[in-house]
Amino acid sequence: MTVDVAGSRWRLPFSPWHLVLIPLSFLLVVPLLWMLITSLETEGEANHFPPVLFPAKPRFANYTEAWAQAPFGHFFLNSLTVTVVVLVSNLVVCSLAGYAFARIRFLGRGTLFVVLMATLMVPFQVTMIPVFLIVKWFGVNVWEGLGIDHIGALMLPNLATAFGIFFLRQFFQTVPVELEEAARVDGTSRLGVLFKIVLPLSLPAMSTLAALTVLTSWNDFLWPLIVITSEDQMTVPLGLSYFQGAHHVQWPLLMAANVMSLLPMLLVFIGAQRYFVQSVASTGIKG
Protein backbone atom coordinates (compact mmCIF):
# COMPACT_ATOMS: atom_id res chain seq x y z
CA MET A 1 0.00 0.00 0.00
CA THR A 2 1.26 3.46 -0.83
CA VAL A 3 0.07 6.86 0.02
CA ASP A 4 -0.22 9.97 -2.09
CA VAL A 5 0.46 13.16 -0.26
CA ALA A 6 -1.51 15.90 -1.93
CA GLY A 7 0.56 18.09 -4.15
CA SER A 8 3.74 16.05 -4.02
CA ARG A 9 5.11 12.97 -5.72
CA TRP A 10 6.48 11.69 -2.43
CA ARG A 11 5.44 8.15 -1.55
CA LEU A 12 5.90 6.29 1.68
CA PRO A 13 7.53 2.92 1.00
CA PHE A 14 5.08 1.28 3.45
CA SER A 15 1.57 1.81 4.69
CA PRO A 16 1.31 4.73 7.15
CA TRP A 17 -0.76 2.45 9.36
CA HIS A 18 2.46 0.79 10.50
CA LEU A 19 3.23 4.04 12.33
CA VAL A 20 0.11 3.44 14.42
CA LEU A 21 0.24 -0.33 14.64
CA ILE A 22 3.85 -0.70 15.74
CA PRO A 23 3.59 1.51 18.86
CA LEU A 24 0.14 0.08 19.62
CA SER A 25 1.31 -3.53 19.49
CA PHE A 26 4.41 -2.65 21.46
CA LEU A 27 2.32 -1.02 24.19
CA LEU A 28 0.15 -4.13 24.43
CA VAL A 29 3.11 -6.47 24.95
CA VAL A 30 5.11 -4.17 27.27
CA PRO A 31 3.82 -5.97 30.39
CA LEU A 32 5.02 -9.30 28.99
CA LEU A 33 8.37 -7.88 27.82
CA TRP A 34 8.95 -6.28 31.20
CA MET A 35 8.29 -9.61 32.88
CA LEU A 36 10.83 -11.26 30.59
CA ILE A 37 13.46 -8.56 31.16
CA THR A 38 13.04 -8.61 34.94
CA SER A 39 13.34 -12.39 34.94
CA LEU A 40 16.88 -11.98 33.59
CA GLU A 41 18.05 -9.30 36.01
CA THR A 42 19.91 -9.53 39.27
CA GLU A 43 18.14 -8.59 42.47
CA GLY A 44 20.21 -5.38 42.50
CA GLU A 45 19.21 -4.44 38.97
CA ALA A 46 15.52 -5.05 39.68
CA ASN A 47 15.54 -3.05 42.91
CA HIS A 48 16.88 0.04 41.24
CA PHE A 49 15.14 3.25 40.32
CA PRO A 50 14.84 4.36 37.58
CA PRO A 51 14.52 0.76 36.33
CA VAL A 52 17.37 -0.94 34.50
CA LEU A 53 15.91 -1.57 31.04
CA PHE A 54 18.65 -3.91 29.86
CA PRO A 55 20.41 -6.21 32.34
CA ALA A 56 24.19 -6.00 32.08
CA LYS A 57 24.41 -9.77 31.75
CA PRO A 58 21.29 -11.96 31.55
CA ARG A 59 20.98 -13.94 34.77
CA PHE A 60 19.51 -17.30 33.77
CA ALA A 61 20.11 -18.62 37.26
CA ASN A 62 16.78 -17.02 38.27
CA TYR A 63 15.07 -19.78 36.33
CA THR A 64 17.01 -22.66 37.86
CA GLU A 65 16.58 -21.16 41.34
CA ALA A 66 12.83 -20.69 40.90
CA TRP A 67 12.53 -24.22 39.57
CA ALA A 68 14.45 -25.53 42.58
CA GLN A 69 12.40 -23.64 45.14
CA ALA A 70 8.96 -24.91 44.16
CA PRO A 71 7.88 -28.13 42.44
CA PHE A 72 7.02 -26.51 39.10
CA GLY A 73 7.41 -29.90 37.42
CA HIS A 74 4.56 -31.14 39.59
CA PHE A 75 2.45 -28.10 38.82
CA PHE A 76 2.86 -28.63 35.07
CA LEU A 77 2.13 -32.32 35.29
CA ASN A 78 -1.00 -31.67 37.38
CA SER A 79 -2.24 -28.96 35.03
CA LEU A 80 -1.54 -31.15 32.03
CA THR A 81 -3.34 -34.15 33.53
CA VAL A 82 -6.38 -32.12 34.56
CA THR A 83 -6.56 -30.32 31.21
CA VAL A 84 -6.21 -33.48 29.11
CA VAL A 85 -8.83 -35.42 31.10
CA VAL A 86 -11.27 -32.50 31.10
CA LEU A 87 -10.70 -31.90 27.38
CA VAL A 88 -11.19 -35.51 26.28
CA SER A 89 -14.21 -35.97 28.52
CA ASN A 90 -15.83 -32.77 27.29
CA LEU A 91 -15.31 -33.63 23.63
CA VAL A 92 -16.78 -37.13 24.06
CA VAL A 93 -19.65 -36.38 26.45
CA CYS A 94 -20.69 -33.13 24.78
CA SER A 95 -20.59 -34.55 21.26
CA LEU A 96 -22.74 -37.55 22.27
CA ALA A 97 -25.30 -35.30 23.94
CA GLY A 98 -25.02 -32.57 21.32
CA TYR A 99 -25.71 -35.09 18.56
CA ALA A 100 -28.72 -36.55 20.38
CA PHE A 101 -30.17 -33.06 20.91
CA ALA A 102 -29.50 -32.13 17.27
CA ARG A 103 -30.79 -35.20 15.49
CA ILE A 104 -32.64 -37.76 17.60
CA ARG A 105 -36.23 -37.38 18.79
CA PHE A 106 -36.63 -38.73 22.26
CA LEU A 107 -39.10 -38.25 25.07
CA GLY A 108 -38.41 -35.06 27.03
CA ARG A 109 -35.77 -33.76 24.63
CA GLY A 110 -36.96 -30.16 24.59
CA THR A 111 -37.44 -29.86 28.33
CA LEU A 112 -34.16 -31.55 29.11
CA PHE A 113 -32.31 -29.22 26.76
CA VAL A 114 -33.81 -26.12 28.34
CA VAL A 115 -33.01 -27.37 31.85
CA LEU A 116 -29.38 -28.11 30.94
CA MET A 117 -28.98 -24.74 29.21
CA ALA A 118 -30.39 -22.97 32.26
CA THR A 119 -27.21 -23.93 34.14
CA LEU A 120 -25.29 -21.62 31.79
CA MET A 121 -26.86 -18.65 33.54
CA VAL A 122 -25.82 -19.69 37.04
CA PRO A 123 -22.63 -17.98 38.20
CA PHE A 124 -19.97 -20.30 39.60
CA GLN A 125 -20.17 -18.60 43.01
CA VAL A 126 -23.67 -20.00 43.49
CA THR A 127 -22.61 -23.58 42.93
CA MET A 128 -19.08 -23.60 44.35
CA ILE A 129 -19.98 -24.19 47.99
CA PRO A 130 -22.30 -27.17 47.30
CA VAL A 131 -19.87 -28.54 44.69
CA PHE A 132 -17.22 -28.40 47.40
CA LEU A 133 -19.50 -30.48 49.65
CA ILE A 134 -20.36 -32.91 46.83
CA VAL A 135 -16.71 -33.41 45.90
CA LYS A 136 -15.91 -33.96 49.57
CA TRP A 137 -18.67 -36.61 49.65
CA PHE A 138 -17.18 -38.32 46.58
CA GLY A 139 -13.76 -38.36 48.25
CA VAL A 140 -15.12 -39.98 51.38
CA ASN A 141 -17.64 -42.38 49.85
CA VAL A 142 -16.41 -43.20 46.35
CA TRP A 143 -12.69 -42.76 45.91
CA GLU A 144 -10.20 -40.64 47.77
CA GLY A 145 -8.57 -39.49 44.53
CA LEU A 146 -11.75 -37.59 43.61
CA GLY A 147 -12.00 -35.78 46.94
CA ILE A 148 -10.74 -32.59 48.50
CA ASP A 149 -7.03 -31.91 47.98
CA HIS A 150 -6.67 -34.28 45.01
CA ILE A 151 -6.45 -33.28 41.36
CA GLY A 152 -9.45 -35.56 40.74
CA ALA A 153 -11.52 -32.87 42.44
CA LEU A 154 -10.40 -30.45 39.73
CA MET A 155 -11.59 -32.74 36.95
CA LEU A 156 -14.84 -34.17 38.30
CA PRO A 157 -17.09 -31.07 38.22
CA ASN A 158 -15.76 -30.02 34.78
CA LEU A 159 -16.12 -33.26 32.81
CA ALA A 160 -19.07 -31.91 30.82
CA THR A 161 -20.37 -28.40 30.21
CA ALA A 162 -23.74 -27.17 29.02
CA PHE A 163 -21.90 -24.75 26.78
CA GLY A 164 -20.10 -27.59 24.98
CA ILE A 165 -23.40 -29.36 24.35
CA PHE A 166 -25.01 -26.18 23.05
CA PHE A 167 -22.06 -25.31 20.84
CA LEU A 168 -21.77 -28.75 19.23
CA ARG A 169 -25.54 -29.12 18.81
CA GLN A 170 -25.60 -25.85 16.89
CA PHE A 171 -22.85 -27.11 14.62
CA PHE A 172 -24.25 -30.62 14.15
CA GLN A 173 -27.53 -29.09 12.98
CA THR A 174 -25.68 -27.56 10.04
CA VAL A 175 -24.30 -30.91 8.82
CA PRO A 176 -26.40 -31.96 5.80
CA VAL A 177 -28.91 -34.49 7.08
CA GLU A 178 -28.97 -36.30 3.69
CA LEU A 179 -25.49 -37.70 4.32
CA GLU A 180 -26.64 -39.19 7.58
CA GLU A 181 -29.85 -40.56 6.12
CA ALA A 182 -27.97 -42.30 3.33
CA ALA A 183 -25.74 -44.02 5.85
CA ARG A 184 -28.71 -44.91 8.03
CA VAL A 185 -30.42 -46.55 5.05
CA ASP A 186 -27.25 -48.59 4.54
CA GLY A 187 -27.67 -49.88 8.05
CA THR A 188 -25.13 -47.77 9.95
CA SER A 189 -26.03 -47.30 13.62
CA ARG A 190 -26.56 -43.87 15.20
CA LEU A 191 -23.16 -44.03 16.86
CA GLY A 192 -21.61 -45.13 13.57
CA VAL A 193 -23.12 -42.11 11.84
CA LEU A 194 -21.84 -39.81 14.58
CA PHE A 195 -18.29 -41.14 14.52
CA LYS A 196 -17.89 -41.87 10.80
CA ILE A 197 -19.80 -38.98 9.24
CA VAL A 198 -20.73 -36.18 11.60
CA LEU A 199 -17.56 -35.86 13.70
CA PRO A 200 -15.14 -35.87 10.73
CA LEU A 201 -17.20 -33.04 9.24
CA SER A 202 -17.18 -31.20 12.57
CA LEU A 203 -13.43 -30.94 13.12
CA PRO A 204 -13.44 -27.11 13.03
CA ALA A 205 -16.14 -26.97 15.71
CA MET A 206 -14.41 -29.61 17.80
CA SER A 207 -11.08 -27.76 17.58
CA THR A 208 -12.77 -24.53 18.57
CA LEU A 209 -14.39 -26.12 21.59
CA ALA A 210 -11.08 -27.80 22.42
CA ALA A 211 -9.25 -24.47 22.39
CA LEU A 212 -11.79 -22.89 24.69
CA THR A 213 -11.76 -25.86 27.07
CA VAL A 214 -7.95 -25.95 27.26
CA LEU A 215 -7.72 -22.23 27.99
CA THR A 216 -10.43 -22.31 30.67
CA SER A 217 -9.15 -25.44 32.33
CA TRP A 218 -5.46 -24.49 32.32
CA ASN A 219 -6.02 -20.99 33.71
CA ASP A 220 -8.76 -21.85 36.23
CA PHE A 221 -7.91 -20.45 39.64
CA LEU A 222 -10.82 -20.04 42.06
CA TRP A 223 -11.87 -23.69 42.12
CA PRO A 224 -8.31 -25.06 42.64
CA LEU A 225 -7.81 -22.42 45.34
CA ILE A 226 -10.85 -23.78 47.18
CA VAL A 227 -10.14 -27.50 46.97
CA ILE A 228 -6.36 -27.85 46.85
CA THR A 229 -4.04 -27.14 49.76
CA SER A 230 -1.15 -29.59 49.25
CA GLU A 231 1.72 -28.36 47.13
CA ASP A 232 2.00 -31.64 45.20
CA GLN A 233 -1.61 -31.38 43.97
CA MET A 234 -1.43 -27.76 42.79
CA THR A 235 -1.94 -26.65 39.21
CA VAL A 236 0.21 -23.98 37.55
CA PRO A 237 -1.81 -20.85 38.46
CA LEU A 238 -2.31 -22.01 42.05
CA GLY A 239 1.34 -23.05 42.36
CA LEU A 240 2.41 -19.67 41.00
CA SER A 241 0.20 -17.88 43.50
CA TYR A 242 1.68 -20.03 46.27
CA PHE A 243 5.21 -19.23 45.05
CA GLN A 244 4.27 -15.54 44.99
CA GLY A 245 3.27 -15.76 48.66
CA ALA A 246 6.67 -17.13 49.57
CA HIS A 247 8.83 -14.87 47.37
CA HIS A 248 6.77 -11.73 47.02
CA VAL A 249 9.61 -9.23 46.84
CA GLN A 250 12.19 -11.31 44.99
CA TRP A 251 11.03 -9.91 41.66
CA PRO A 252 13.55 -11.57 39.31
CA LEU A 253 12.79 -14.97 40.83
CA LEU A 254 9.04 -14.36 40.74
CA MET A 255 9.19 -13.17 37.14
CA ALA A 256 11.24 -16.21 36.11
CA ALA A 257 8.56 -18.42 37.69
CA ASN A 258 5.93 -16.35 35.90
CA VAL A 259 7.63 -16.76 32.51
CA MET A 260 7.88 -20.53 33.05
CA SER A 261 4.22 -20.71 34.04
CA LEU A 262 3.07 -18.73 31.02
CA LEU A 263 5.27 -20.31 28.39
CA PRO A 264 3.31 -23.53 27.70
CA MET A 265 0.00 -21.71 27.30
CA LEU A 266 1.54 -18.94 25.19
CA LEU A 267 3.12 -21.49 22.84
CA VAL A 268 -0.13 -23.45 22.54
CA PHE A 269 -1.99 -20.20 21.97
CA ILE A 270 0.31 -18.97 19.23
CA GLY A 271 0.41 -22.40 17.60
CA ALA A 272 -3.37 -22.82 17.56
CA GLN A 273 -4.28 -19.14 17.44
CA ARG A 274 -6.83 -19.68 14.68
CA TYR A 275 -8.94 -21.90 16.93
CA PHE A 276 -8.69 -19.63 19.94
CA VAL A 277 -9.78 -16.69 17.83
CA GLN A 278 -12.57 -18.77 16.35
CA SER A 279 -13.76 -19.84 19.80
CA VAL A 280 -14.24 -16.25 20.90
CA ALA A 281 -15.60 -14.98 17.60
CA SER A 282 -18.17 -17.76 17.33
CA THR A 283 -19.46 -17.39 20.88
CA GLY A 284 -19.53 -13.64 20.48
CA ILE A 285 -21.36 -13.42 17.22
CA LYS A 286 -23.60 -16.46 17.28
CA GLY A 287 -23.95 -16.95 21.02
Partner 1 sequence: MVIAENTKAPPRPAPVPPRRRWRPWGADGVTGWALVTPAVVLIGIFGLLPVLMSLQLSFQHSDLLTPETPWVGFDNYRKMADDPVFLEAIKHTIIYTALFVPGTMLVGLLVAAAMNRSVRFISVYRTAAYITMAVSTISQGIIFLWLTDRDYGLVNAALNGVGVPSQPFLASPSQAIYVIVAMTIWGWTGFSVIVYLAALQGVPAELHEAAAIDGAKPFTRFRTITVPLLGPANLFLLVWLTINALQLFDEVYATTRGGPLRATTVIVYYLWDQAFVHFDAGYAAAMAYALFVVILLVTAVQFRLARRYAHHP
Which of 61, 77, 183, 280 binds partner 1 (CB under 8 A)? It is 280
274, HSE (Cβ side, Cα atoms, 13 Å): 5
273 binds partner 1 (CB under 8 A): yes
Q: How far apart are CA 131 and CA 243, in angstroms?
A: 27
* CB 182 to partner 1: min, Å: 17
For the bound state, the minimum distance from the C-beta of residue 17 to partner 1, rounded and expressed in Å, comes to 5
Non-local CB neighbours of 260 within 8 Å, separated by 6+ positions: 63, 66, 67, 72
CB of 278 to partner 1, least distance (A): 9
- Shortest Å, Cβ 108 to partner 1: 8
Of 11, 25, 144, 204, which one interacts with partner 1 (CB under 8 A)? 25
Give every CB contact of residue 257 below 8 A, 6+ residues apart in sequence. 66, 70, 72, 240, 243, 247
What residues between 123 and 162 interact with partner 1 by CB under 8 A? 123-134, 156-162
Helical axes 236-246 vs 61-69, angle rounded to 10°? 100
C-beta closer to partner 1: residue 72 or 218: 218
Longest dimension (CA), the chain: 83
**Rg of the chain over CA atoms, in angstroms?**
25
Site for partner 1 in 243-272 (CB under 8 A): 244, 251, 254-255, 258, 261-262, 265-266, 268-270
Please, which residue, 67 or 132, has the CB nearer to partner 1? 132
Q: Which residues in 71-110 contact partner 1 (CB under 8 A)?
A: 93-94, 96-97, 99-101, 104-107, 109
Count of H-run helices and E-run strands, the chain: 16, 0
